[in-house]
């Protein structure tokens, strides 16, 4: 088939599950050959991920965060990031998450790109930013259930480590790919 | 806090939703400070994604696939891949998905790395492979509800395009990051 003939058409959707982090929908769709099928879709608020680049005496370093991750039940070393607050614009969400998790405030911040975290089943987007000219305010501002430790890591270490622990979060390699694209 | 003090301890979990593609669990956990919290976790079969490299008269090309994606409600240009069948090993899943979606059979295939697609909320893994020495069998073997068009794309085009349509799938940039790491 040609790619112009591959699109499905959603007829309707129904919410079948809801929790604090996301909602699940059944989507009733018509195929390119007019057959009806049901797909399950997860919708959530958008997320921001920030690549914070700090100039140090040893050269450029990424400001990264250690966190326990409940899905994988492991520790993970990641770029800062998190869920948008209601009505928040992507860049403000990115700058806020950076400062809350690491204490660093960006002097400049710009968008690197955006993806669907998994367009097969997820409806939300993840927005990536580059943060530079960082100023250390010296204090994190963490949520009650958030435990985060900051670590400075060279770009080369992150690049070589991706795909193996503690670099276990796929979206952090997406952030790195967009950083390398600049 | 030191990173050694950040781990939570799961006390128990309960299934709260189930569908063909995944199950949702409530996970009851104890924080590093012994506070109890509930987190929602999505579990699913593991996935494989394959970077298929084809030698052509115009140089190396990636064998990629156009698909309609129901989560994003958009077309997406992606590396081939899909969900493991029960009991299948990761490399066999990767080779099978490659051949089903594109008709190309790999002469050699090897693992590039693995990630959690999103360790914050997902329990499964995504495994990445490099497939080379491709032989075109000339026929796809698609599922009943699968509509896929093959396209050959240069590595440079994919690298420059990531983060913008039609390169909307974040995990494809993870695949590219692991390919560039080699």
Q: Which two tokens stand for residue A150?
A: 């900051």
d(CA A120, CA B169): 9
- Note the pLDDT of residue A144: 79
CB of A177 within 8 Å of any CB in chain B? yes
Per residue in A7-58, pLDDT (tens digit) is: 999 999 999 999 999 999 999 999 999 999 999 999 999 999 999 999 999 9
d(CA A162, CA B182): 11
Is the pLDDT at A146 greater than 90? The verdict is no
Closest Cα to residue B113, out of A156, A48, A159? A159
- Best residue of A129, A174, A178, A179 to probe chain B, by most B CBs closer than 10 Å: A174
- Kindly state the helix (H) or strand (E) to which residue B17 belongs, with its residue range: strand B9-18
- Note the pLDDT of residue B22: 96
Domains recognised in chain A with CATH numbers: 3-43 (no CATH), 47-180 (3.90.79.10)
- Note the pLDDT of residue B62: 98
Closest CA–CA distance from residue B34 to any residue of chain A (Å): 11
Residue B99 Cα to chain centre, angstroms: 16
Task: Output helix, strand, coil percentages for chain B, rounded to the nearest 5.
Answer: 20, 45, 35
Q: Contact B174/A178, CB-based, under 8 Å?
A: no
Closest Cα to residue B26, out of B121, B116, B115? B121
Tell me the percentage of chain A whose pLDDT exceeds 70: 100
Contact list in A for residue B155 (CB cut-off 8 A) is none
Averaged confidence pLDDT in chain A:
96
Choose among A123, A128, A168: nearest Cβ to B72. A123
- Note the pLDDT of residue A182: 93
- Note the pLDDT of residue B148: 92
- Note the pLDDT of residue A142: 86
Per residue in B144-170, pLDDT (tens digit) is: 788 999 999 999 999 999 999 999 999
Mean pLDDT of all residues in A99-117: 97
- Note the pLDDT of residue A140: 85
User: Nearest residue on chain A to B127, judged by CA atoms?
Assistant: A163
Is the pLDDT at A158 greater than 90? The verdict is yes
- Note the pLDDT of residue B138: 86
Contact list in B for residue A39 (CB cut-off 8 A) is 70
Q: Contact B3/A75, CB-based, under 8 Å?
A: yes
Of A38-47, A71-80, A132-141, B48-57, least confident by mean pLDDT is A132-141
A7 secondary structure, DSSP code = -
Is the pLDDT at A70 greater than 90? The verdict is yes
CB of B30 within 8 Å of any CB in chain A? no
Q: What does the pLDDT profile of chain B (182 residues) look like in tens digits? A: 788 899 999 999 999 999 999 999 999 999 999 999 999 999 999 999 999 999 999 999 999 999 999 999 999 999 999 999 999 999 999 999 999 999 999 999 999 999 999 999 999 999 999 999 999 998 888 887 889 999 999 999 999 999 999 999 999 999 999 999 99
User: Nearest residue on chain A to B25, judged by CA atoms?
Assistant: A71
Closest Cα to residue B168, out of B81, B73, B84? B73
Contact between B121 and B79 under an 8 Å Cβ cutoff? The reply is: no
Mean pLDDT of all residues in A162-167: 96
Contact list in B for residue A17 (CB cut-off 8 A) is 16-17, 24
């Amino acid at each position: 088939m040609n790619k112009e003939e591959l699109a499905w058409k959603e007829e309707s959707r129904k919410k079948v599950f809801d929790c604090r982090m996301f909602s699940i929908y059944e989507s009733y769709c018509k195929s390119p050959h007019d057959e009806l099928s049901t797909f399950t879709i997860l919708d959530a608020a958008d997320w921001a991920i920030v690549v914070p680049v700090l100039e140090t005496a040893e050269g450029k370093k990424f400001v990264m965060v250690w966190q326990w991750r409940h899905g994988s039940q492991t520790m993970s070393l990641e770029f800062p990031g998190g869920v948008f607050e209601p009505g928040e614009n992507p860049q403000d969400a990115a700058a806020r998450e950076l400062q809350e998790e690491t204490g660093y405030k960006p002097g400049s911040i710009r968008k690197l790109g955006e993806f669907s975290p998994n367009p097969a089943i997820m409806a939300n987007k993840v927005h990536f930013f580059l943060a530079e000219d960082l100023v250390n305010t010296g204090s994190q501002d963490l949520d009650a259930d958030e435990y985060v430790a900051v670590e400075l890591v060279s770009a080369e270490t992150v690049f070589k480590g991706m795909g193996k622990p503690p670099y276990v979060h796929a979206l952090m390699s997406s952030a790195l790919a967009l950083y390398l694209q600049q």
